[in-house]
Structure 1
């Protein structure tokens, strides 16, 4: 079955690229072609090189949650440090931290979405199923 991790449709038997490549380069988790995204944040329906169907993966809101929590923590620590070190006015905080938070979240979202899709592919992640009672 060509959709299994470690197998490539071309039959070359090559190992799939590391999941981080899917995030950094927007590459297919099976063949490594840069076909994962059709726009900055929108996944393609399938890989143009190997035919892997990207629509069957459910990345959902996972990347946004992790980025918001991580970046929010970092920004909060920086804002507290700036407040105690320099004591700027409230308007400086508003002009500095809100755009920085938005920019970091949007810039890192593509990487996080690509990485999560590649990890779903590598680990064969799918919805949990309850076992039917016998």
Structure 2
């Protein structure tokens, strides 16, 4: 169930039914699945997807950059012309699937309101008072 939900999220599909699209924009998640009406507004995939994308892109680009430098030793302008656009392109291509995968993971594990009981960041504590 876990891997299926992550795979569905990576494919930008609802982690519950696998048919409904979960994105309305580039990275904006729909509130409810258009096919099965599964609530998806609970997700909190805020910072995790960019960190995961940075890690993946960094490993790919730095590995290829070092291999190219050791093998061919091209001039620095060529490195800049190749690796910067590649890093940006890979980041844009991977952001959506990774965010979908994180939402699928949260859904499968019942995190952040996806489970039977709603989450509370304060564990029942009252909100802090506001002073003017």
TM-score range, shorter chain: 0.7 to 0.9
Q: Which residue of 2 aligns with 1:108?
A: 94
TM-score computed with the length of structure 1 as normaliser: 0.76
In structure 2, distance between residues paired with 1:48 and 1:131 = 32
Cα RMSD over matched residues? 2.0
Structure 1 gaps of 5+ residues are 1-5, 7-16
The count of aligned residue pairs is: 116
Q: Which residue of 2 aligns with 1:76?
A: 62
Tell me by how many angstroms 1:118 deviates.
Answer: 0.7
Deviations 1:23-69 (CA, angstroms, capped at 9, x unpaired): 12x11111222320112322112111222222111011101101102
In structure 1, distance between residues paired with 2:102 and 2:92 = 16
Runs of 4+ in 1 over 6 A off after TM superposition: none
Q: Which residue of 1 aligns with 2:76?
A: 90
Structure 2 gaps of 5+ residues are 113-118, 125-132
Q: 1:56 to 1:130 in 2, by over 3 A?
A: closer
TM-score computed with the length of structure 2 as normaliser: 0.77
Which structure would you say has the larger RCO, counting Cα contacts within 8 Å and 6 or more residues apart? 2
